[in-house]
Amino acid sequence: MRLRTIPYSQYEMGLPQQGNYVLGQEIGDNIVVYQAFNHQIADYAIAHQKFGGNRYSFSRMTWIKPNFLWMMYRSGWAEKQNQERILAIHMKKDSFEKLLSDGVYSNFIDTIYGTQEQWKKALAESDVRIQWDPDHDYKGDKLNRRAVQIGIRNQALLEFNAHGIVLIEDITDFVKEQRANLNDTNELQVIYEQIIPLREDIKEKYAIPSHFIPQEIQKIIDTFEKQHSIPDEDFNQLLIGESLRNSFVQYIRNYTHKTFSRYLLEKAIDKRLNEEDILCEDLLLFSFFCSKNGEIEDFDLILNAKKADFDTWCGFDGEMVFYTLGFEATKAQLQAHVKHYSQTTVDYFCDFTEEYLYTDINSRAFWYF
């Protein structure tokens, strides 16, 4: 499975507790959405990496959900009839946003549609329907936060199938494994999710708050954007065990900031090399923040953080080096620039297997949260 997971006990950390939010997992330029099907439809989808076959209808509305636990609630953790298989569909982010942009509310909103007749006309003419429902926890209990599901049919579904889908994964085995852990939340793993950044017009249309950034973190960001640096006293508050650590985790879980993330990691590396009070957990957290940028510059910086750790090959989780570019691209980058990275470094990371990264890493990749 190519999806990052997180212990359920840590899932809600840093997430908003009320309001309309699109939570999900982004991988590069794609977002992951979920659907549950019977065996015949799922088998066809996995084999062909698109939907079709004599059991699948393009005229019937089908619903995609970016929120894993909402899918688990709807499918009964893959135990409901005709929902025995759970598919994770990696789709293009711009295709996802187009669906939201084209969508019509499944309920009447007078400020948008004016009259019931205009709303019903919009519903009849649209191939995309948007519905906001209470989000759910692992037991299926309702939360105050609301989650989105997107209904698509006819031409919109054909476009989704032909051009929106990048990859279809069958994650049923993972779902079954975690279903067995529902009575032990210490063992339960779920899909790691964050607030999905969306265009401002989409957020306005669906009353999605523009920002979910703690005020004290915003002040530090404002200082950085004005001065291109922050005082040591502000930096130190972001470290493990300090006053703003949890607020900082909340921020980096949901947002990216290229220059700020790189500044923080460079500062942490410098302090580490000068034997100041920077722990492995701090290097990891700043590295994770950088990894979300997804660029070579961030890969090189994270590799420097790995080398700066007191125990070069043990203290700092080597898996973090793969977060920025992904498995294949990381190895290709290393092998293409052996002189730059050194043969020892290249050999070490090229020994990592895909199975290790996408299996073992899932149980502990975010332990420092």
pLDDT at 314: 47
Lookup result for tokens 């709807």: 74
> Predicted confidence band at 28 (pLDDT cuts at 50, 70, 90)?
confident
- Smallest CA-to-CA distance from 58 within 126, 122, 152 is with 152
Residue % of the chain over a pLDDT of 70: 94
Q: Residue 154: pLDDT above 80?
A: yes
Least confident stretch, 253-257, 274-278, 281-285: 274-278
Q: Are 248 and 231 in contact (CB under 8 A)?
A: no
pLDDT score for 359: 59
Does the pLDDT at position 362 exceed 50? Answer: no
Given a cut of 80, is residue 310 above it in pLDDT?
no
> Which residues, in sequence order, are CB contacts of 177 under 8 Å at separation 6+?
none
pLDDT at 176 over 90: yes
For residues 89 and 31, is the Cβ–Cβ distance under 8 A? no
The tokens of 251 are what?
A: 């921020």
Cα three-residue angle 25-29-35, rounded to 5 degrees: 45
Res. 364 pLDDT band, cuts 50 70 90: very low
Average the pLDDT over 221-246 and give the result: 94
Q: How confident is the model at residue 369 (pLDDT cuts 50, 70, 90)?
A: very low
Q: Please state the rounded mean pLDDT for residues 279-287.
A: 87
Residue 309 has pLDDT above 60, yes or no: yes
Long-range contacts for 197-204 (Cβ within 8 Å, ≥24 apart)?
Answer: 197/255, 197/256, 198/22, 198/97, 198/100, 199/97, 199/101, 201/101, 202/97, 202/100, 202/101
